[in-house]
Protein backbone atom coordinates (compact mmCIF):
# COMPACT_ATOMS: atom_id res chain seq x y z
CA UNK A 1 0.00 0.00 0.00
CA UNK A 2 1.26 3.46 -0.85
CA UNK A 3 2.16 5.70 2.07
CA UNK A 4 -0.66 8.06 2.94
CA UNK A 5 -3.18 6.34 0.66
CA UNK A 6 -6.79 7.35 1.32
CA UNK A 7 -9.04 4.29 1.56
CA UNK A 8 -12.27 5.98 2.67
CA UNK A 9 -13.72 9.50 2.75
CA UNK A 10 -13.83 9.33 6.54
CA UNK A 11 -10.41 7.89 7.33
CA UNK A 12 -6.98 7.22 5.91
CA UNK A 13 -4.19 4.98 7.09
CA UNK A 14 -0.45 5.45 6.74
CA UNK A 15 1.72 2.36 6.28
CA UNK A 16 5.42 1.91 5.72
CA UNK A 17 5.23 -1.90 6.13
CA UNK A 18 2.71 -4.54 7.16
CA UNK A 19 4.00 -4.54 10.72
CA UNK A 20 2.65 -1.02 11.12
CA UNK A 21 -0.89 -2.40 10.96
CA UNK A 22 -0.62 -3.46 14.60
CA UNK A 23 -0.67 0.20 15.60
CA UNK A 24 -4.37 0.51 14.79
CA UNK A 25 -5.61 -2.92 15.95
CA UNK A 26 -7.17 -1.22 18.97
CA UNK A 27 -9.48 0.58 16.54
CA UNK A 28 -10.28 -2.55 14.49
CA UNK A 29 -13.94 -2.55 15.47
CA UNK A 30 -14.26 0.85 13.79
CA UNK A 31 -12.24 0.09 10.68
CA UNK A 32 -13.61 -3.37 9.79
CA UNK A 33 -17.01 -2.23 8.42
CA UNK A 34 -15.25 0.45 6.38
CA UNK A 35 -12.80 -2.02 4.86
CA UNK A 36 -15.59 -4.43 4.02
CA UNK A 37 -17.59 -1.65 2.38
CA UNK A 38 -14.61 -0.75 0.21
CA UNK A 39 -14.26 -4.34 -0.95
CA UNK A 40 -17.96 -4.56 -1.80
CA UNK A 41 -17.61 -1.41 -3.91
CA UNK A 42 -14.74 -3.12 -5.79
CA UNK A 43 -12.39 -0.21 -5.08
CA UNK A 44 -8.81 -1.43 -5.24
CA UNK A 45 -9.82 -5.04 -4.42
CA UNK A 46 -6.36 -6.59 -4.06
CA UNK A 47 -5.02 -4.15 -1.48
CA UNK A 48 -8.28 -3.75 0.39
CA UNK A 49 -8.67 -7.51 0.81
CA UNK A 50 -5.32 -7.46 2.59
CA UNK A 51 -6.73 -4.84 4.98
CA UNK A 52 -9.76 -7.01 5.76
CA UNK A 53 -7.51 -10.04 6.22
CA UNK A 54 -5.28 -8.23 8.69
CA UNK A 55 -8.27 -7.03 10.68
CA UNK A 56 -9.70 -10.55 10.77
CA UNK A 57 -6.32 -11.78 12.01
CA UNK A 58 -6.76 -9.45 14.97
CA UNK A 59 -10.17 -10.85 15.85
CA UNK A 60 -9.00 -14.45 15.48
CA UNK A 61 -6.26 -14.03 18.06
CA UNK A 62 -8.31 -11.73 20.25
CA UNK A 63 -10.89 -14.49 20.78
CA UNK A 64 -8.23 -17.02 21.84
CA UNK A 65 -9.44 -19.68 19.40
CA UNK A 66 -7.23 -21.88 17.27
CA UNK A 67 -6.82 -20.11 13.92
CA UNK A 68 -6.28 -21.67 10.50
CA UNK A 69 -5.19 -18.80 8.31
CA UNK A 70 -8.38 -16.71 8.19
CA UNK A 71 -10.80 -19.39 9.41
CA UNK A 72 -11.24 -20.47 13.01
CA UNK A 73 -12.93 -23.39 14.74
CA UNK A 74 -14.16 -23.72 18.30
CA UNK A 75 -12.48 -26.91 19.49
CA UNK A 76 -14.83 -27.19 22.46
CA UNK A 77 -17.62 -28.35 20.11
CA UNK A 78 -18.34 -32.13 20.05
CA UNK A 79 -18.83 -32.40 16.26
CA UNK A 80 -16.03 -31.56 13.87
CA UNK A 81 -18.64 -31.09 11.17
CA UNK A 82 -22.38 -31.40 10.68
CA UNK A 83 -23.35 -31.97 7.06
CA UNK A 84 -26.82 -31.49 5.61
CA UNK A 85 -28.73 -32.22 2.43
CA UNK A 86 -28.72 -34.96 -0.16
CA UNK A 87 -28.43 -38.60 0.84
CA UNK A 88 -28.77 -40.88 -2.17
CA UNK A 89 -27.99 -44.34 -3.48
CA UNK A 90 -25.50 -44.76 -6.34
CA UNK A 91 -25.52 -47.63 -8.80
CA UNK A 92 -22.14 -47.89 -10.51
CA UNK A 93 -21.83 -50.35 -13.40
CA UNK A 94 -19.59 -53.35 -13.18
CA UNK A 95 -19.81 -53.46 -16.98
CA UNK A 96 -17.20 -50.79 -17.67
CA UNK A 97 -16.50 -48.87 -20.87
CA UNK A 98 -19.93 -49.24 -22.44
CA UNK A 99 -23.15 -47.20 -22.59
CA UNK A 100 -25.44 -47.29 -19.58
CA UNK A 101 -28.25 -48.89 -21.57
CA UNK A 102 -26.02 -51.90 -22.27
CA UNK A 103 -24.95 -52.39 -18.64
CA UNK A 104 -26.58 -55.28 -16.78
CA UNK A 105 -24.67 -55.47 -13.49
CA UNK A 106 -24.26 -52.70 -10.92
CA UNK A 107 -22.82 -52.22 -7.43
CA UNK A 108 -24.84 -50.26 -4.89
CA UNK A 109 -23.22 -47.52 -2.78
CA UNK A 110 -24.28 -44.68 -0.54
CA UNK A 111 -24.17 -41.46 -2.56
CA UNK A 112 -24.95 -37.76 -2.59
CA UNK A 113 -22.24 -35.13 -2.26
CA UNK A 114 -22.84 -34.10 1.39
CA UNK A 115 -23.26 -37.76 2.38
CA UNK A 116 -19.98 -38.66 0.66
CA UNK A 117 -18.23 -35.75 2.35
CA UNK A 118 -19.58 -36.90 5.72
CA UNK A 119 -18.19 -40.39 5.13
CA UNK A 120 -14.89 -38.91 3.95
CA UNK A 121 -14.51 -36.84 7.11
CA UNK A 122 -15.42 -39.83 9.28
CA UNK A 123 -12.85 -42.04 7.52
CA UNK A 124 -10.26 -39.33 8.21
CA UNK A 125 -11.01 -39.63 11.92
CA UNK A 126 -13.39 -36.73 12.49
CA UNK A 127 -16.60 -36.71 14.52
CA UNK A 128 -19.44 -36.18 12.06
CA UNK A 129 -23.17 -35.50 12.34
CA UNK A 130 -25.80 -35.25 9.63
CA UNK A 131 -29.13 -33.47 9.15
CA UNK A 132 -31.24 -35.02 6.43
CA UNK A 133 -34.17 -37.17 5.39
CA UNK A 134 -34.32 -40.64 3.84
CA UNK A 135 -37.06 -42.84 2.45
CA UNK A 136 -38.99 -45.10 4.81
CA UNK A 137 -37.99 -48.31 3.05
CA UNK A 138 -35.07 -50.66 2.49
CA UNK A 139 -33.01 -47.98 0.72
CA UNK A 140 -33.43 -45.62 3.66
CA UNK A 141 -32.37 -48.38 6.02
CA UNK A 142 -29.34 -49.11 3.81
CA UNK A 143 -27.93 -45.57 3.89
CA UNK A 144 -28.68 -45.07 7.60
CA UNK A 145 -26.90 -48.31 8.48
CA UNK A 146 -23.96 -47.28 6.31
CA UNK A 147 -23.68 -43.98 8.18
CA UNK A 148 -23.83 -45.74 11.53
CA UNK A 149 -21.17 -48.23 10.49
CA UNK A 150 -18.89 -45.28 9.67
CA UNK A 151 -19.50 -43.74 13.10
CA UNK A 152 -21.65 -40.87 11.75
CA UNK A 153 -24.34 -39.64 14.13
CA UNK A 154 -27.80 -40.25 12.60
CA UNK A 155 -29.95 -38.80 15.38
CA UNK A 156 -31.02 -35.99 13.00
CA UNK A 157 -31.59 -38.20 9.96
CA UNK A 158 -35.36 -38.66 9.80
CA UNK A 159 -37.67 -40.76 7.66
CA UNK A 160 -40.02 -39.38 5.01
CA UNK A 161 -43.69 -39.80 5.89
CA UNK A 162 -45.44 -39.10 2.58
CA UNK A 163 -44.02 -41.96 0.53
CA UNK A 164 -41.04 -40.03 -0.86
CA UNK A 165 -38.26 -42.07 -2.46
CA UNK A 166 -34.55 -41.82 -1.88
CA UNK A 167 -32.67 -40.22 -4.77
CA UNK A 168 -31.15 -42.79 -7.13
CA UNK A 169 -28.09 -42.19 -9.29
CA UNK A 170 -27.03 -44.42 -12.18
CA UNK A 171 -23.54 -43.77 -13.44
CA UNK A 172 -22.16 -44.40 -16.91
CA UNK A 173 -18.46 -45.13 -17.26
CA UNK A 174 -17.63 -45.03 -20.98
CA UNK A 175 -13.90 -44.60 -20.42
CA UNK A 176 -11.52 -43.44 -17.70
CA UNK A 177 -12.13 -39.84 -18.82
CA UNK A 178 -15.70 -39.99 -20.13
CA UNK A 179 -18.49 -40.52 -17.62
CA UNK A 180 -22.05 -39.33 -17.11
CA UNK A 181 -24.73 -39.50 -14.45
CA UNK A 182 -28.45 -40.24 -14.67
CA UNK A 183 -30.43 -39.17 -11.60
CA UNK A 184 -33.92 -39.86 -10.34
CA UNK A 185 -34.76 -36.79 -8.23
CA UNK A 186 -38.56 -36.80 -8.53
CA UNK A 187 -40.34 -36.88 -5.17
CA UNK A 188 -36.94 -37.19 -3.45
CA UNK A 189 -36.93 -37.76 0.31
CA UNK A 190 -34.01 -35.40 0.99
CA UNK A 191 -35.88 -32.48 -0.61
CA UNK A 192 -38.80 -33.01 1.78
CA UNK A 193 -36.79 -31.97 4.85
CA UNK A 194 -38.73 -29.27 6.73
CA UNK A 195 -37.74 -26.42 9.02
CA UNK A 196 -39.21 -28.35 11.97
CA UNK A 197 -36.59 -31.05 11.37
CA UNK A 198 -33.58 -28.73 11.67
CA UNK A 199 -32.26 -28.54 15.23
CA UNK A 200 -30.66 -25.30 16.42
CA UNK A 201 -29.03 -27.10 19.35
CA UNK A 202 -27.52 -29.71 17.03
CA UNK A 203 -25.95 -27.14 14.71
CA UNK A 204 -24.67 -25.21 17.72
CA UNK A 205 -22.61 -28.29 18.67
CA UNK A 206 -20.64 -28.26 15.39
CA UNK A 207 -17.25 -26.75 14.60
CA UNK A 208 -18.58 -26.19 11.09
CA UNK A 209 -21.87 -26.65 9.25
CA UNK A 210 -21.97 -27.82 5.62
CA UNK A 211 -24.72 -26.94 3.15
CA UNK A 212 -24.95 -28.52 -0.30
CA UNK A 213 -26.36 -26.64 -3.28
CA UNK A 214 -28.70 -29.48 -4.26
CA UNK A 215 -30.60 -28.99 -1.00
CA UNK A 216 -31.66 -25.54 -2.28
CA UNK A 217 -33.29 -26.94 -5.42
CA UNK A 218 -36.83 -27.17 -4.04
CA UNK A 219 -39.04 -26.46 -1.05
CA UNK A 220 -39.31 -27.33 1.78
CA UNK A 221 -35.63 -28.35 1.78
CA UNK A 222 -34.39 -24.91 0.72
CA UNK A 223 -36.16 -23.24 3.65
CA UNK A 224 -34.72 -25.86 5.99
CA UNK A 225 -31.22 -25.06 4.73
CA UNK A 226 -31.75 -21.32 5.12
CA UNK A 227 -32.88 -21.88 8.69
CA UNK A 228 -29.80 -24.02 9.33
CA UNK A 229 -27.69 -21.21 7.90
CA UNK A 230 -29.33 -18.73 10.27
CA UNK A 231 -28.72 -20.99 13.27
CA UNK A 232 -25.07 -21.42 12.31
CA UNK A 233 -24.50 -17.68 11.97
CA UNK A 234 -26.35 -17.04 15.24
CA UNK A 235 -23.95 -19.32 17.10
CA UNK A 236 -20.78 -18.36 15.19
CA UNK A 237 -20.46 -21.77 13.53
CA UNK A 238 -18.45 -21.45 10.28
CA UNK A 239 -20.57 -22.37 7.25
CA UNK A 240 -19.19 -24.43 4.37
CA UNK A 241 -21.18 -24.02 1.16
CA UNK A 242 -20.45 -26.70 -1.44
CA UNK A 243 -22.12 -25.59 -4.67
CA UNK A 244 -22.80 -29.17 -5.90
CA UNK A 245 -25.04 -28.20 -8.81
CA UNK A 246 -27.31 -30.85 -10.36
CA UNK A 247 -29.75 -29.66 -13.01
CA UNK A 248 -32.59 -31.87 -11.83
CA UNK A 249 -35.53 -30.08 -10.08
CA UNK A 250 -34.19 -26.56 -10.73
CA UNK A 251 -36.56 -24.46 -12.85
CA UNK A 252 -34.13 -21.88 -14.30
CA UNK A 253 -30.60 -20.51 -14.15
CA UNK A 254 -31.96 -17.40 -12.47
CA UNK A 255 -33.41 -19.53 -9.66
CA UNK A 256 -30.04 -21.23 -9.15
CA UNK A 257 -28.25 -17.88 -9.05
CA UNK A 258 -30.74 -16.42 -6.59
CA UNK A 259 -30.58 -19.16 -3.97
CA UNK A 260 -26.91 -19.98 -4.41
CA UNK A 261 -25.86 -16.36 -3.99
CA UNK A 262 -28.17 -15.96 -1.00
CA UNK A 263 -26.29 -18.68 0.87
CA UNK A 264 -22.85 -17.75 -0.50
CA UNK A 265 -23.24 -14.22 0.86
CA UNK A 266 -23.37 -15.69 4.37
CA UNK A 267 -20.97 -18.64 4.14
CA UNK A 268 -17.39 -18.76 5.41
CA UNK A 269 -15.89 -21.38 3.09
CA UNK A 270 -17.11 -21.54 -0.50
CA UNK A 271 -16.20 -24.50 -2.74
CA UNK A 272 -17.26 -25.18 -6.33
CA UNK A 273 -16.23 -25.64 -9.94
CA UNK A 274 -15.80 -22.79 -12.40
CA UNK A 275 -19.05 -23.84 -14.09
CA UNK A 276 -20.90 -23.74 -10.76
CA UNK A 277 -19.55 -20.29 -9.95
CA UNK A 278 -20.71 -19.10 -13.38
CA UNK A 279 -24.24 -20.32 -12.61
CA UNK A 280 -24.24 -18.66 -9.19
CA UNK A 281 -23.05 -15.37 -10.67
CA UNK A 282 -25.49 -15.46 -13.61
CA UNK A 283 -27.60 -12.58 -12.28
CA UNK A 284 -24.77 -10.71 -10.55
CA UNK A 285 -22.19 -9.79 -13.19
CA UNK A 286 -20.72 -10.83 -16.53
CA UNK A 287 -17.18 -11.62 -17.71
CA UNK A 288 -16.58 -14.28 -15.09
CA UNK A 289 -13.04 -15.19 -14.04
CA UNK A 290 -11.57 -16.75 -10.93
CA UNK A 291 -10.00 -13.66 -9.43
CA UNK A 292 -13.11 -11.56 -9.96
CA UNK A 293 -15.27 -14.27 -8.40
CA UNK A 294 -12.93 -14.72 -5.45
CA UNK A 295 -12.74 -11.00 -4.72
CA UNK A 296 -16.51 -10.66 -4.88
CA UNK A 297 -17.30 -13.53 -2.50
CA UNK A 298 -14.44 -12.73 -0.14
CA UNK A 299 -15.81 -9.20 -0.03
CA UNK A 300 -19.17 -10.63 1.03
CA UNK A 301 -17.57 -12.20 4.11
CA UNK A 302 -16.21 -15.57 3.04
CA UNK A 303 -12.85 -16.48 4.54
CA UNK A 304 -11.80 -19.00 1.88
CA UNK A 305 -13.00 -19.42 -1.71
CA UNK A 306 -11.95 -22.56 -3.59
CA UNK A 307 -12.52 -22.76 -7.35
CA UNK A 308 -11.86 -26.08 -9.05
CA UNK A 309 -11.04 -26.81 -12.70
CA UNK A 310 -11.03 -30.61 -12.85
CA UNK A 311 -7.89 -31.93 -14.55
CA UNK A 312 -6.46 -28.39 -14.59
CA UNK A 313 -6.32 -28.23 -10.79
CA UNK A 314 -7.78 -25.77 -8.30
CA UNK A 315 -7.03 -22.54 -6.47
CA UNK A 316 -7.92 -21.33 -2.98
CA UNK A 317 -8.25 -17.60 -2.30
CA UNK A 318 -8.13 -16.21 1.24
CA UNK A 319 -9.23 -13.02 2.99
CA UNK A 320 -5.65 -11.83 3.42
CA UNK A 321 -5.32 -11.46 -0.34
CA UNK A 322 -3.33 -14.62 -0.97
CA UNK A 323 -4.01 -17.47 -3.38
CA UNK A 324 -2.69 -21.02 -3.53
CA UNK A 325 -2.94 -23.47 -6.43
CA UNK A 326 -2.63 -27.22 -6.74
CA UNK A 327 -2.53 -29.69 -9.63
CA UNK A 328 -4.02 -33.19 -9.74
CA UNK A 329 -1.79 -36.09 -8.77
CA UNK A 330 -1.04 -38.46 -11.68
CA UNK A 331 -3.05 -41.69 -11.47
CA UNK A 332 -4.55 -44.25 -13.80
CA UNK A 333 -8.17 -43.21 -13.53
CA UNK A 334 -11.11 -45.59 -13.67
CA UNK A 335 -13.89 -43.00 -13.88
CA UNK A 336 -14.37 -39.28 -14.35
CA UNK A 337 -16.50 -38.55 -11.26
CA UNK A 338 -16.32 -38.92 -7.49
CA UNK A 339 -13.11 -37.04 -6.90
CA UNK A 340 -14.74 -33.78 -5.81
CA UNK A 341 -16.25 -35.15 -2.61
CA UNK A 342 -12.96 -36.73 -1.60
CA UNK A 343 -11.23 -33.44 -2.38
CA UNK A 344 -13.65 -31.46 -0.21
CA UNK A 345 -13.56 -33.81 2.78
CA UNK A 346 -9.75 -33.97 2.76
CA UNK A 347 -9.42 -30.19 2.32
CA UNK A 348 -11.75 -29.55 5.27
CA UNK A 349 -9.88 -32.16 7.31
CA UNK A 350 -6.67 -30.22 6.78
CA UNK A 351 -8.32 -27.00 7.90
CA UNK A 352 -9.53 -28.62 11.14
CA UNK A 353 -5.99 -29.88 11.72
CA UNK A 354 -4.64 -26.34 11.49
CA UNK A 355 -2.63 -26.90 8.31
CA UNK A 356 -1.53 -24.22 5.86
CA UNK A 357 -3.88 -23.77 2.92
CA UNK A 358 -1.45 -25.28 0.40
CA UNK A 359 -1.15 -28.44 2.49
CA UNK A 360 -4.95 -28.69 2.68
CA UNK A 361 -5.14 -28.40 -1.10
CA UNK A 362 -2.49 -31.05 -1.59
CA UNK A 363 -4.31 -33.43 0.74
CA UNK A 364 -7.56 -32.78 -1.11
CA UNK A 365 -5.97 -33.33 -4.50
CA UNK A 366 -4.47 -36.62 -3.33
CA UNK A 367 -7.80 -37.90 -2.02
CA UNK A 368 -9.52 -36.93 -5.27
CA UNK A 369 -6.91 -38.81 -7.31
CA UNK A 370 -7.38 -41.92 -5.18
CA UNK A 371 -11.15 -41.83 -5.72
CA UNK A 372 -11.17 -41.43 -9.49
CA UNK A 373 -8.94 -44.50 -9.58
CA UNK A 374 -11.50 -46.53 -7.60
CA UNK A 375 -14.95 -47.91 -8.45
CA UNK A 376 -16.92 -46.26 -5.64
CA UNK A 377 -16.94 -42.93 -3.87
CA UNK A 378 -18.26 -43.33 -0.31
CA UNK A 379 -17.12 -46.94 -0.01
CA UNK A 380 -13.57 -46.10 -1.12
CA UNK A 381 -12.99 -42.94 0.91
CA UNK A 382 -9.43 -43.18 2.27
CA UNK A 383 -8.10 -42.82 5.81
CA UNK A 384 -5.64 -40.05 6.70
CA UNK A 385 -2.76 -42.54 6.79
CA UNK A 386 -3.71 -43.84 3.34
CA UNK A 387 -3.74 -40.33 1.86
CA UNK A 388 -0.37 -39.52 3.45
CA UNK A 389 1.11 -42.76 2.13
CA UNK A 390 -0.24 -41.97 -1.35
CA UNK A 391 1.36 -38.51 -1.32
CA UNK A 392 4.65 -39.97 -0.13
CA UNK A 393 4.69 -42.56 -2.94
CA UNK A 394 3.88 -40.01 -5.62
CA UNK A 395 6.54 -37.60 -4.43
CA UNK A 396 9.13 -40.37 -4.35
CA UNK A 397 8.16 -41.28 -7.91
CA UNK A 398 7.67 -37.85 -9.48
CA UNK A 399 9.35 -35.35 -7.16
CA UNK A 400 8.40 -33.17 -4.20
CA UNK A 401 6.53 -30.58 -6.29
CA UNK A 402 4.49 -33.03 -8.38
CA UNK A 403 1.14 -31.44 -7.46
CA UNK A 404 2.24 -27.99 -6.35
CA UNK A 405 2.17 -25.06 -8.75
In a shared domain, residues 20 and 153: no
Q: Whole-angstrom Cα distance, residue 264 to residue 242?
A: 9
CB 225 within 8 A of CB 215: yes
- pLDDT of the residue at 251: 94
- pLDDT of the residue at 69: 55
- pLDDT of the residue at 141: 98
Q: Is the CA virtual torsion 388, 389, 394, 395 positive or negative?
A: positive
In a shared domain, residues 79 and 54: no
Between the alpha carbon of residue 265 and those of residues 74, 99, 220, 280, 369, the distances in Å are: 22, 40, 21, 11, 31
DSSP string, 196-227: GG--HHHHHTBS-EEEEGGGGSSTTHHHHHHH
Examine the fold and report which residue of 21, 38, 64 is the final residue of a domain before the chain moves on: 64
In a shared domain, residues 58 and 205: no
Is 309 contained in some domain? yes
| Those residues with Cβ within 8 angstroms of residue 153's Cβ, 6 or more apart along the chain or in another chain | 79, 127, 128, 129, 130
Is 265 contained in some domain? yes
> What band does 177 get if pLDDT is binned at 50, 70 and 90?
confident
In a shared domain, residues 115 and 156: yes
Exposed (0-12), middle (13-18) or buried (19+): which is 92, by Cβ within 10 Å? buried
Q: What confidence tens digit (pLDDT) does each residue in 198-249 have?
A: 999 999 999 999 999 999 999 999 999 999 999 999 999 999 999 999 998 8
In a shared domain, residues 45 and 131: no
In a shared domain, residues 41 and 127: no
Examine the fold and report which residue of 64, 84, 106 is the final residue of a domain before the chain moves on: 64
How confident is the model over 335-358, as a mean pLDDT?
A: 93
Is 403 contained in some domain? no
- 393 lies in which domain range? 72-398
In a shared domain, residues 44 and 181: no
Alpha helices (H) in 9-100, listed in sequence order: 28-40, 45-62
Q: What confidence tens digit (pLDDT) does each residue in 108-147 have?
A: 999 999 999 999 999 999 999 999 999 999 999 999 999 9
Is 379 contained in some domain? yes
Structurally, how many domains does the chain consist of? Answer: 2
Residue 262 phi, psi (nearest 5): -60, -45
Q: Which 3 state secondary structure label does DSSP give 229?
A: helix
In a shared domain, residues 57 and 152: no
Is 1 contained in some domain? no
Reply yes or no on whether the pLDDT at 360 is more than 70: yes
Reply yes or no on whether the pLDDT at 25 is more than 70: no
- pLDDT of the residue at 70: 63
Reply yes or no on whether the pLDDT at 383 is more than 70: yes
Q: What's this model's pTM, rounded to 2 decimal places?
A: 0.83
In a shared domain, residues 139 and 33: no
Radius of gyration of the chain (CA): 21
Reply yes or no on whether the pLDDT at 55 is more than 90: no
Q: What is the CATH number of the domain that holds 180?
A: 3.40.1190.20
> What band does 81 get if pLDDT is binned at 50, 70 and 90?
very high
For the chain, percent of residues with pLDDT exceeding 90: 73
| Those residues with Cβ within 8 angstroms of residue 264's Cβ, 6 or more apart along the chain or in another chain | 241, 270, 280, 297, 300, 302
In a shared domain, residues 138 and 26: no
Pick from 62-76, 218-232, 307-321: least confident: 62-76
Is 219 contained in some domain? yes
In a shared domain, residues 161 and 309: yes
Average model confidence (pLDDT) across the chain: 86
In a shared domain, residues 112 and 238: yes
Is 215 contained in some domain? yes
Amino acid sequence: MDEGRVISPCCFLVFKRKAAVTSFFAEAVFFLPIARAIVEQNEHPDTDLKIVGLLNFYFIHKEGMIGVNTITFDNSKPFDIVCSGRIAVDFNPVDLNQPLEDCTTFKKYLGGSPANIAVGMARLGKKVGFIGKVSKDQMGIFVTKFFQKEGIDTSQVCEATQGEFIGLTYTEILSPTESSILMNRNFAADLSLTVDEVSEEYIQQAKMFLISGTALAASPSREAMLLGLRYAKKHNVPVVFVLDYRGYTWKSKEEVSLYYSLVAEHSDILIGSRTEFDLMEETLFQDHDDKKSANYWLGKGNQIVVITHGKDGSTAYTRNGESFSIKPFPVKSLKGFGGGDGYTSAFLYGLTEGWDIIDCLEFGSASAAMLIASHACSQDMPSADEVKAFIKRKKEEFGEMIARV
